[in-house]
A and B are shown apart, each in its own frame.
Chain A
Amino acid sequence: MTDRAQTDASKPLSRNRVMAGSSLAVAVVVGALLIARLAGVIPAPQEMSALGAIVTCVLGAASVVGFSAWYFARTDEHDLHANLWAMAWSWIASGVGTSCWVVLHAAGLAPVPDAVAILLGSSVVALATWVWLRFR
């Protein structure tokens, strides 16, 4: 092994690479869970036992909160800035979306408001805002 290779191997990863790598790892885990659900390895929520549902919720919430706290404490300020604006616009989008949907439903112009659809829509707003601020 050359000196250069040894130096590169022993050099600690930069913060940027750690953050990108950890985000990719989370995306892989989420993707694997989705594929497992689609393949029927993981039961649908309505097929879960009460204990299974509680354990899933506790593990899911702890994972999301734990990873978010870890990520935001370590990422650089430019990424943190992009994340904060992404969450702000996501929150505004979910508030506006829910309000409009409820009013339109009450007027008979829309189906019953769907919480999952609102969550997905606000997530798309968050992702678009983050990508725009991070990579423009």
Chain B
Amino acid sequence: MPEWVQFSAGKHFQDLIAHLSGRSVPEILVMPIMLAVILGFICGSSLILIWAERKVAARIQNRVGPMMTGPRKLAEFSMWTGGLLQTAADAIKLLVKELIIPSKTDPVPFIAAPVLIVTVCVTAFVVIPFGPALSVSDLNIGVVHVVSISSLTVLSIVMAGWSSNSKYSLLGGLRSAAQMLSYEIPLIFALLGPILLAGGLSMQKMVLAQREYGCWFFLPSLLGFLIYYVASIAEVNRPPFDIPEAESELVAGYVSEYSGMMFAMFFLAEFANMFLVCSVAATVFLGGWLVPFMAVPEQMTPGYIALGTLVFFAKTSFLVFIMMWIRWTFPRVRPDHLMNLGWKYLFPLSLLNLLICAGVAVLKDVYKLNGWGVSLASLGALVFVLLLLQVVRVPRPTAFLEKV
């Protein structure tokens, strides 16, 4: 087992400083620098994601999206190269705008809410393995860390909703709390399957376990992958589960009263969170930085690190793209239907997934069966059980049937 991949970037950095200065530095001094790096990464990736979101939306909606801000020569080339600086311009605009704190708000939580949401985001990114040996700190409780930290987001949203002293904000905040309750649970249970298969909570171990296993974990726990994906869309409040900020109902939900940079921080956190949940999905279910059809070298090689990082970003971007696609296709779900889906379908199904994963783990470890065979068998079992339960029952509109 190549041990080097679990070496964290924080450690690298610590060693580098120690090497340069000639004496060892405590980790506490290195961490702020690493956090600053993450913050920069979040800002940068959010800028790109917002641009990408607008372009994807434009493509889906027969438009070209932002074209005027950015190099004109590139914009003439195709719609995908136009308006490259649009989000940068937007960010500057938001930065220089006045921060309005409405007179009837409770100022302390009102200001603390956007700060908290970005803090939570940055903290959660600490354990994400962007590539082999490229996580800031490979905590041995990585998955739990991500889940528990990111569920603090709701605290910030409720704070924002409550302190704004506006009916729309309050409703948005309360909806968010209800939504979080019903979606955290299936999300965590969906992650339990792969945790069981990997036998550990560390993110890098998760990746290595998939290498040992012979196939990525989305095969033995396909159900878990889908549940995680759906629940994570709800977790980051994106359409069709964007009920806390449903624009046609609650104006802008909990961000109604925010302006300028405080609004931008919520916005930033939304996109960073989207990237976060997708990167967790890519790590846990899609093999993280594992390059398909390529063995992990025993010694650290810069080439493999670069390639692995690239693959990781490719997988994550793919999942992000699907999220954008879903956003621009579906109508919004009603809150009570959302709760129904969470409690009546996703939660029991995630338990079923746990059961299947446990079975797979037993077959693999006790009877030493091949990972692929077991996975296919588990998929078969899943299909059988689903057919039996007829869980996926989509009501068909009669009018549509008439037309056909």
Whether chain B is bound by chain A comes out as no
Which residues of B are at the interface with A, using a C-beta cutoff of 8 A?
none
Which residues of A are at the interface with B, using a C-beta cutoff of 8 A?
none
